[in-house]
Amino acid sequence: MGPTADRPERLLLIGMMGAGKTTVGRLAAAELGWPYLDSDDEVEEATGKRVPEIFATEGEPAFRAAEAEALARALDVEPAVVSVAGGAVLDQANRTLIERGGTVVWLRARVATLARRVGTGAGRPLLDPDPAAALRALDAARRPLYQSLADEVVDVDDLTPEQAAAATVRALAR
């Protein structure tokens, strides 16, 4: 589809934690020569707190509110590559922003791949105490939302980060 008058010159990466949004996003931004924005980094910069600290002291609703604000700010930058926080898709207002925000690429991975990549889940509050079980439940809830938002899907399980980034950049030309 590519950027058009209706679609901003922006690449939004969605997917589960461990799918590679940060790594692939940085590589894609470098390839395109565009700024790179990461929702979690934006939340931490705006709040002065790390994500696990927000969850521990203020709870998930406070994090989700900060996440929504970070997403809205990121969509003020164009062109840009934006790694959208995995759970941002749970909120209808965020889904609307994502749909209108640019070309949306779902970095899709099997749960086994995600579990291997996140390991013990350290620093990821939603994965405590059993990362594999938590990932299965989160994936089941979020997968239909990612599918509904995606302009393109890149299956990352058997790709290097560089291959995933190249496939993501190619999505802009469609």
* Token pair listed for 73: 């700010």
First to last CA, the chain: 4
Q: All domains of the chain, ordered by start, with CATH?
A: 10-173 (3.40.50.300)
- Kind and range of the H or E run holding 155: strand 152-155
- 10 Å CB burial of residue 31 (0-12, 13-18, 19+) is middle
User: Which tens digit of pLDDT belongs to each residue from 45-80?
Assistant: 989 998 889 988 998 899 899 999 999 999 999 999
Q: What is the pLDDT of residue 173?
A: 82
Helix (H) and strand (E) counts for the chain?
8, 5
pLDDT per residue over 13-43, tens digit each? 999 999 999 999 999 999 999 999 998 899 9
* Helix, strand, coil % over all residues of the chain, rounded to 5: 60, 15, 30
Q: What is the pLDDT of residue 55?
A: 85
pTM of the model: 0.91
Sign of torsion over alpha carbons 86, 89, 90, 91: positive
pLDDT for the residue 131? 83
> What pLDDT was estimated at residue 161?
97
Question: Kind of pairing, strands 103-108 and 10-14?
Answer: parallel
